[in-house]
Structure 1
Amino acid sequence: MAARRDPASAAPPRASRPVEDRHFVTALARGLEVLACFRTGSVLGNQELAVRCQLPKSTVSRLTATLTRLGYLIQIGESGKFRLGTATLSLGSAMLSKLDVRQVARPWMEELAAQCKVEVALGARDRLSMIYIESCRSPRPPAVVLDVGARIPVATTAMGRAWLSAIDGHEREEFLERVRRRDAAAWPETKRGIERSLHEHRTLGVTCSFGEWQSHINGIACAVRPGDGLPPMAISCGGPAARLSPRQLLAEVRPRLIAMVARIEDALTLPNGRARWSA
């Protein structure tokens, strides 16, 4: 099966709001949409950003000029193109440093990666993607090198499907409608895979993606509920299909993954039921 296009590489979904919402700052939303277009190593010009954000080029030019002045973008020489600036580091690093779930999960993730020789990753949802917030590699060479900050699609990956299994039905329906609109041609097959994964989660405790995201990668995942008002996350285990079969993942890795997630959730929860949040 050919590798699927990551929806994150296309335009981010436009921010939607009721017309009467007086507290919605359109200019701010548009600036954040511009920043959301950039991925690891992205270099984009105003014309590309205008297409992705579905905004007039003149509007995008003003936004990029402002973001550049504030340090959120850096203009590359005289090319007229931009990449993310160092000011964006403060946003991501401040959030990551406060996530107890990363600190709690990492030792167990490292242990699982070493024991089962799999890649273990913790991710949270951002738009139509899951973004890695922690990653542990097995001693063996990985099929795909994905570090913290990497993005993978929700709809075709085990990690994304685990997140889908953890949210409520109304939120899931709204999200899947966005996926359908983004790629109507692929939707029937995508929908079948998601429905199968939701059934797997109910019966097996994990979601699966065997060659559906990339043909040479197999993976399973389990939802994590960090509490304290944070949205559900997911931990995935996977690797090259050539040495990591679905049977091995389900028979050997699955029980360890489920047990690990239970330990993480227990460790994050105090006796009064509230999750810890770093000071």
Structure 2
Amino acid sequence: MRKRAAAPLEAGEDRQFVTAIARGFEILHAFEAEDPILGNQELAERTGLPRATVSRLTYTLTRLGYLTYLPRFGKYQLGLGVVPLGQLALANMGIRRLAAPLMRHLAGETNASVSLGRRDGLSMLYVEHVSPRTAVAVQLEIGSRVPIGLTAMGRAYYAASPEAERRSLDDALAARYPQDWPRIQQSLAEGCAMRAAHGFTLSAGDWTPTVHAAGAAVTLPGGEVFALNCGAPAFMLEHERLVAEVGPRLAAVARRIESLASGPGRATNGRMES
């Protein structure tokens, strides 16, 4: 079983922070495409919350329609109540409309998957995804999450983020993954250097040994940072091709999206403005 999805959130000194709501969202965030069905014990392990607390939260979320209970397994899956929220959030992201045609063209040119993501905690969340017309492709889709520290998309986002956010991420990653932090820290430093020198980042099997990818950040006029990646099975996308062809093309697509977002009907903080 993978590591828990998130450390328990507490109000601390923030009197406006509602811990119960935050814990409910922790439960929802624990579900992933790779693990769509989870029981209370698994949710407790992933969130770090007490089993009794998890039981009350899953009961409440089920009553509200955000979880569905599966009696056959004695476990839960995300309910239809989350669908309208996700659809509305995606519909309001004007950057998806700007990026999608360019992403499709790049996927066709490179015969690789192309995705657009934004930060979600210590992960990057896919908000747009295009697969190539081939049976061999990276099996991720809209709604998938990938770690910031070891992926091309995550490294690109980190390298383009303000210094204060990078420091905050460093602290959170070091606390969450103490044993892996030296490796993650080196990975992020290499990503910053790569982006500064070439305008893109790489992940050649660092997260998943069988997948190679390039990443490039997209900064909108309002300052919000998204990131693109272009990836494929390693045997289809060797390191030399990543550096010489795919990375530069992806960086060019990122700059084109930024240019379009800065023009009439621009996308600010992911939304379209006229």
Q: Which TM-score applies when normalising by structure 1?
A: 0.89
Equivalent residues in 2 for 1:178-197, closer than 5 Å = 178-197=172-191
- Asked whether 1:208 is paired with 2:202, we answer yes
Shift, 1:181, TM fit: 2.2
Counterpart CA distance in 2 for 1:56 and 1:211 is 36
| Aligned CA-pair RMSD | 2.1
Query: Could you tell me which amino acid in structure 2 is paired with residue 52 of structure 1?
Result: R
Pick which of 144-153 and 93-102 moved more: 144-153
What is residue 99 of structure 2 aligned with on the other side? 105
Q: Partner residue of 2:15? A: 22
Within the candidate set 248, 251, 258, 1:255 is matched to: 248
> How many Å separate the matches in 2 of 1:161 and 1:26?
30
Partner deviation per Cα, 1:22-61 (whole Å, 9 max, x = no partner): 2111111111111111112422222222232222222222
Q: Pick one of 141, 151, 162 that aligns with 1:157.
A: 151
Q: Partners in 2 of 1:98 and 1:190 — Cα distance? A: 33
Deviation, structure 1 residue 277: 2.7
Shift of 1:236: 0.6
Look up the match of 1:45.
Answer: 39
8 Å Cα contact 2:215/2:227 also seen in 1:
yes
Amino acid at match of 1:43: I
Output the amino acid matched with 2:158: L
What is the identity, as a one-letter code, of the residue corresponding to 1:257?
A: L
* C-alpha spacing 1:47/1:273, structure 2 compared with 1 (3 Å): closer
Aligned equivalent of 1:136, options 119, 130, 134: 130
Q: Is the partner of 1:124 in helix, strand or coil? A: strand
Unaligned ranges ≥5, structure 1: none
For 1:192 and 1:123, the matched residues in 2 are separated by 22
Please name the residue that 2:170 is paired with: 176
Q: CA deviation at 1:174?
A: 1.7
SS in 1 for 2:136: coil
Change (3 A) 1:274 1:185: closer
Amino acid at match of 2:64: L
1:273 and 1:104 map into 2 onto residues whose CA distance is: 9
User: Which 4+ runs in 1 deviate beyond 6 A?
Assistant: none
